[in-house]
Amino acid sequence: MSDKIFANGIFFSKPDSSAPSFVLGKLKIKADEAIQFIKDNQNEAGWLTLDIKNSREGKAYLEVNNYKKSEAPAKPAKIQPIEEEEPPF
C-alpha cells in the first residue's frame, strides 16, 4: 500500500446546519498551492482524482486516489477446429 497523499491547497468542509439539504459541502482552493499540487500529482493523462473522506474525528479531508486498474489477462485466441482429411484408403 502506498503512502497517503493529502491535498495541498484544496480544502473540503461539510455544510453548516443552516445550509439547505441540497448543499453537500464547501470546497476552498488556495490557487498557488493547489496549482502546484495538481501539477505534482496528476496522472499521465493529466487527471487528479481526490477522494473526500471522514477522519476518525468526523472531519472531512481530501486524499489523492492513485488507484490503477490492473491489466486484464489477455483473452485466449479462439481455437479453430481442425478439419481432418479422410484417410486415403
Is pLDDT larger for residue 67 or for residue 33?
Answer: 33
Residue 32 has pLDDT above 80, yes or no: yes
Q: Is the pTM of this model over 0.75?
A: no
Report the pLDDT value the prediction gives residue 26, as an integer from 0 to 100: 95
Domain boundaries, the chain: 10-64
* Full 3-state SS string of the chain: CCCCCECCCEEEECCCCCCCCCCCCEEEECHHHHHHHHHHHCCCCCCCCEEEEECCCCCEEEEECCCCCCCCCCCCCCCCCCCCCCCCC
87 Cβ contact partners less than 8 Å away, ≥ 6 residues apart: none
Residue 88 has pLDDT above 80, yes or no: no
Confidence of residue 71 (pLDDT cuts 50, 70, 90): confident
Check residue 8 and give its pLDDT: 94
